[in-house]
Amino acid sequence: MEDEPVKAVYALYADPDAAQRAVNGLRAAGVAERDITVMSAEPIEEHEFSQRDKATWMHAIAGVGGFIGLLVAIWLTTLTERAWPLVTGNMPIVAWWPNLIIMFELTMLGGILATVITLMITAKIPSRQPRLYDGEIADGKILVGVENPSEASVSAVERALLAGGGRLKTT
C-alpha cells in the first residue's frame, strides 16, 4: 500500500506461537486489548489471539436483510398486480403461488446483500484512512504491534515484542 506510514511499533513473527507470546507480552505490559494489532496472510484459528473480535451480529443482520427483501417482494408483486388487474390463466389478480417465487428470491437476495454490506462496514473494507501494513505478511510473517503508541509506552512495547522473538520495526 502506498500510504503515508502510520506511526507504529511492531514486530514480525515467523510462527503463530511466537505471535501469541508477543500478544501476551503486550497485555502484560499494560497495552489495552483494542490497541494490539495482529495481521496475517491467512486466518489462524488455533491460537487465542485470532479469537478476538469473533462475536458478530452478521447472522442476525442477514436475517433482517432477508426480511426486508421479503417485504419488498410482497410490496412489488401485490402493488403491480393490483395496479394492472389483468386476469391471466384464470388465476386470481394477486396470485400467491407464483408470488411466492419472487418472495423467495428477493428474501435470499436481501440476506446476501445485507451480509456483504455488513462485512464491508464491520471489517472496514475499503477504508480511506492510511493503515498499518507490512509487505512481508504476504510471505507468511505475522505482524503484532501497536499503532500510535504513547511516547511513554514505546520502550515497554518494544521490550514485549522483542521478548516474543520477533524482528522489531518502527514507522
The residue behind cell 408470488 is 99
| By the rule CB under 8 A, 154 interacts with other proteins | no
Q: Which of residues 11-40 bind other proteins (CB under 8 A)?
A: 14-15, 17, 20-21, 24-25, 27-28, 37-40
Nearest to 107 by CA among 73, 64, 66, 78: 66
Long-range contacts of 94-101 (CB under 8 A, 24+ apart): 99/73, 99/74
| By the rule CB under 8 A, 151 interacts with other proteins | no
Which one of residues 7, 30, 139, 148 is an interface residue with other proteins (CB under 8 A)?
Answer: 139
CB of 15 to other proteins, least distance (A): 7
| By the rule CB under 8 A, 146 interacts with other proteins | no
CB of 161 to other proteins, least distance (A): 13
Which one of residues 95, 153, 165, 169 is an interface residue with other proteins (CB under 8 A)?
Answer: 95
